[in-house]
Structure 1
Amino acid sequence: MQSCNRKLVLVMLFGAFGSTAMTGLATASLSGSDHIIFQKGKRFGPGDVALHVGEHITVVNDDDNFVHQAYVESETFAFDSGDIEPGARAVITFPTEGDFTVLCGVHPKMKLAVHVR
């Protein structure tokens, strides 16, 4: 019986570790100062991100046949990536606190909300 209990405990520990590892993989792009944002299907994914002042996002065009763009216009900060070809990326660093909207000049309905604290 003791052997059975050990196996059960090991299975539970490995299950918990595996679950934690998979969660870590799913959120790895959103931890620390490297936040990966994908452009695919005329959408930003995720559509909302929270940052600290000075952190950046990396916008990756994950579409095979669409050119995208990423730009920000606000009173305190402006950025324009120009064309982002399929497979290419642009890095946007947010130097000031505030709520920003990243837009795609090619697809005006694409919006990414960025909250910087």
Structure 2
Amino acid sequence: MSRARSLLAVAILAGLSTGALAATQVIHQQGRAFSEESVTVKKGDALTFLNDDTIPHNIMSTSKGNEFNLGSQQPGASTDVTFKEAGDVAVICAIHPRMKMTVKVVD
């Protein structure tokens, strides 16, 4: 194998392993609670909000730079949310006020 082919193979493998590390974290909703009280993500990363509860939830945030509102998310539904700005993001369920979590977004 030539040196150029060897370097190409290493570059491809490095790229594949980097992609595997960038997997989206899943936040479960069950028993009117989030599976995590707080998580840390890098700016530009996403979280998947999965409703594995038996009732609908409305996950949202009004934190500046990371505002979102998923609307009525039915049981079994999942939605990805990408966090664009660094800082602490307060996430709640608009239907169930006890459902709260914090997403720490870092550069």
TM tier relative to shorter chain: 0.7 to 0.9
The aligned length equals 86
- Gaps of at least 5 residues in structure 1 are 1-30
| 1:97 paired residue among 75, 86, 89 | 86
- Aligned-pair identity in percent equals 34
- For 2:56 and 2:105, locate their aligned partners in 1 and report how far apart those are by CA, in whole Å: 27
**1:33 to 1:94, Cα distance in 2 relative to 1, 3 A:** farther
Paired residue type of 2:82: T
How big is each residue's C-alpha offset from its partner over 1:37-95, in whole Å with a ceiling of 9 and x where there is no partner? 000001001221100000010000011x2101110102222100001100001111000
Contact 1:70 1:82 in 2 (8 A): yes
Moved over 2 A (4+): none
Paired residue type of 2:55: F
Partner of 2:77: 88
> Which has the larger Rg?
1
* Secondary structure at the counterpart of residue 76 of structure 1: coil
Paired residue type of 1:114: V
Q: Which moved more, 1:73-82 or 1:49-58?
A: 73-82
- How far 1:96 moved relative to its partner? 0.6
TM-score by length of 2: 0.76
| 1:54 paired residue among 38, 44, 47 | 44
Contact 1:99 1:115 in 2 (8 A): yes
Question: Counting helix residues as a fraction of each chain, which structure ranks higher?
Answer: 1
- For 1:43 and 1:101, locate their aligned partners in 2 and report how far apart those are by CA, in whole Å: 14
